[in-house]
C-alpha cells in the first residue's frame, strides 16, 4: 500500500512541527504549506522544522490567494489535510481586525473549496479554538456550548468552524473541527503569555532583566501540552464518521498562578518582578476557559497527560537552558 499523504498548513508553527513529527513517525508523506519568505529565510522562519526539512516537501503559497492554495492541493493530492495556519494571536486581532478576518476566514474557505474540487476524498481537519466560546454561558465548555466570541480572532474561528461543518453537511466531505483549548510547549511563540513568562523568568534568572510586564493576571485558561493535542487532531481524522471534538485538560489556572509556579521553580518570587501594565489588557477579555473533553476521551480514546506543573517546568527548563542556566536548578514539577 502506498504511503498516506498529509498536507499541513501552518507546518512551521508549534502545532505544525509536532504534527509533522507525529505523522512522520507513522510513515506519512508530508507536504507543508509555507509563505514564500519562509523558503527564502529558512534559518529564522523554518527553525521549528529544521530537523525535518529533508523529510518534508514544502510548497510556497498564501492563504490570501485561492489560486496558490488550489495549486498546492492539486500538486499534493493529500489523503488528509490539517488546516492549522491562521493569524492566531488574539491581541493582534484587536489591532488589525480586517487582516485577521480576511486571512482566517478566506484562507479556510479557499482551502475547503480547493480540497472539495481537487481531492474530494481527502479528510479535512480545522483548527477551531476555545476562543470561540468567549464569554461562555456555562462552565465547563463542551461541544454543545454556545459560541460567544469576544474578539475578531474568535469570530474568524467560529466562521471557519461553520464553514467546515457546512462542507461536511452540504458536500459529504470528511471534515472535522477540533475545538482546542490553549496548548503550550517550549516551541510556543514569545507573544503568548506562557512563553512570555517562562522566557522572562529565564532572562531575570540570567540577570538580563529584572521586571516582567503583564496584563490581566486573573484570566483563567485550560492549558495543555501541544505535543499531546496534535495526537487528538490525527485521531479525529481516523474515525469512521467526521465530528467535532473539544480537546482540553479539564483544569483551569490563572495567569497569576502560571507566573507564580514559573518564578518559584527558578527560586524567585513573582511579586518581586511582575509589573502590571494596563495597556496589555484586551478591549474585551475571555475571563474563564475550562474544557470538558469527555467526548474525545470516549470516542477517540484521548486524554491529556501532562500536568499544569509539568508543563510550566518543561517550558521553563528549555528557556533556562537557552540562557545557559542548568534546569537542574529549577524545582521539580
Ligand atoms: O497566551 P494568550 O495570548 O492566549 P489566548 O488569548 O488565550 O489565545 C491562545 O489560545 C487560544 C485557545 O483558547 C488559541 F486559539 C489562540 O490562537 C492562542 O493560542 O493569553 C492568555 C491570557 C489572556 O487572558 C490574556 O489577557 O493571558 C492574558 N495575559 C495577561 N498578560 C496576557 C498577558 N497575554 C499575553 N499574550 N501577554 C501578556 O502580557
User: DSSP letters along 120-185, please?
Assistant: TT-EEEEEEEGGGTSS-SSSSB-TTSPP---SHHHHHHHHHHHHHHHHHHHH---EEEEEEPPEE-
Question: How much is the pLDDT for 330?
Answer: 61
Is-catalytic flag, 93? no
Instruction: State the Cα–Cα distance between residues 318 and 322, nearest whole angstrom.
Output: 6
Question: How much is the pLDDT for 331?
Answer: 54
Strand 253-254 to strand 220-221: parallel, antiparallel, or no bridges (unpaired)? Answer: antiparallel
Question: How much is the pLDDT for 43?
Answer: 87
Q: What angle do CA 55, 60, 65 make, to 5 degrees?
A: 145
Q: What is the pTM of this model?
A: 0.97
Look up residue 104 and give its DSSP letter: I
Question: How much is the pLDDT for 327?
Answer: 79
Is-catalytic flag, 299? no
Q: Which of 86, 132, 182, 253 to mutate to test the pocket of ligand 1 (most atoms within 8 A of CB)?
A: 182
Instruction: Show the low-confidence residues of the chain (pLDDT under 50).
Output: 332
Is-catalytic flag, 129? yes
> C-alpha grid cell for residue 20?
509533522
Distance 253 CA to ligand 1 centre (A): 13
Instruction: State the Cα–Cα distance between residues 18 and 25, nearest whole angstrom.
Output: 11
User: Contact, 31 vs 53, CB < 8 A?
Assistant: no
Atom 25, ligand 1: residue with shortest CA distance: 216
Instruction: State the Cα–Cα distance between residues 123 and 176, nearest whole angstrom.
Output: 8
In this structure, the residues whose C-beta lies within 6 A of any atom of ligand 1 are 88, 90-91, 129-131, 181-182, 191-194, 196, 214-216, 219, 221, 255, 280, 282, 285, 289
Amino acid at each position: 500500500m502506498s504511503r498516506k499523504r498529509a498536507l499541513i498548513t501552518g507546518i512551521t508553527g508549534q502545532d505544525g512541527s509536532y504534527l509533522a513529527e507525529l505523522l512522520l513517525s507513522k510513515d506519512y508523506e508530508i507536504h507543508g504549506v509555507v509563505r514564500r519568505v519562509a523558503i527564502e529565510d529558512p534559518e529564522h522562519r523554518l527553525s521549528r522544522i529544521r530537523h525535518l526539512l529533508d523529510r518534508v516537501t514544502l510548497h510556497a503559497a498564501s492563504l490570501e490567494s485561492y489560486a496558490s492554495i488550489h495549486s498546492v492541493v492539486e500538486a499534493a493530492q493529500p489523503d488528509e489535510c490539517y488546516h492549522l495556519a491562521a493569524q492566531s494571536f488574539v491581541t493582534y486581532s484587536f489591532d488589525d481586525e480586517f487582516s485577521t478576518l480576511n486571512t482566517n476566514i478566506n484562507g479556510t474557505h479557499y482551502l475547503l473549496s480547493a480540497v472539495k474540487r481537487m481531492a474530494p476524498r481527502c479528510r479535512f481537519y480545522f483548527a477551531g479554538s476555545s476562543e470561540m466560546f468567549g464569554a461562555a454561558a456555562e462552565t465547563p465548555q463542551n461541544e454543545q456550548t454556545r459560541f460567544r466570541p469576544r474578539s475578531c480572532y474568535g469570530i474568524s474561528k467560529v466562521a471557519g468552524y461553520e464553514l467546515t461543518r457546512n462542507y461536511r453537511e452540504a458536500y459529504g466531505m470528511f471534515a472535522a473541527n477540533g475545538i482546542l483549548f490553549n496548548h503550550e510547549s517550549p516551541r510556543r511563540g514569545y507573544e503568548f503569555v506562557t512563553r512570555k513568562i517562562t522566557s522572562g523568568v529565564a532572562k531575570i534568572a540570567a540577570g538580563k532583566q529584572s521586571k516582567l510586564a503583564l496584563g490581566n493576571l486573573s484570566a483563567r485558561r485550560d492549558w495543555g501540552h501541544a505535543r499531546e493535542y496534535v495526537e487528538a487532531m490525527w485521531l479525529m481524522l481516523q474515525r469512521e464518521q467526521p465530528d467535532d471534538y473539544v480537546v482540553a485538560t479539564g483544569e483551569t489556572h490563572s495567569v497569576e498562578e502560571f507566573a507564580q509556579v514559573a518564578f518559584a521553580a527558578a527560586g524567585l518570587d513573582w511579586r518581586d518582578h511582575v509589573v502590571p501594565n494596563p495597556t496589555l489588557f484586551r478591549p474585551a477579555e475571555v475571563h474563564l476557559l475550562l474544557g470538558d473533553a469527555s467526548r474525545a476521551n470516549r470516542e477517540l480514546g484521548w486524554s491529556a497527560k501532562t500536568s499544569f506543573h509539568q508543563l510550566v517546568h518543561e517550558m521553563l527548563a528549555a528557556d533556562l537552558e537557552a540562557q545557559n542556566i542548568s534546569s537542574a536548578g529549577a524545582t521539580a514539577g
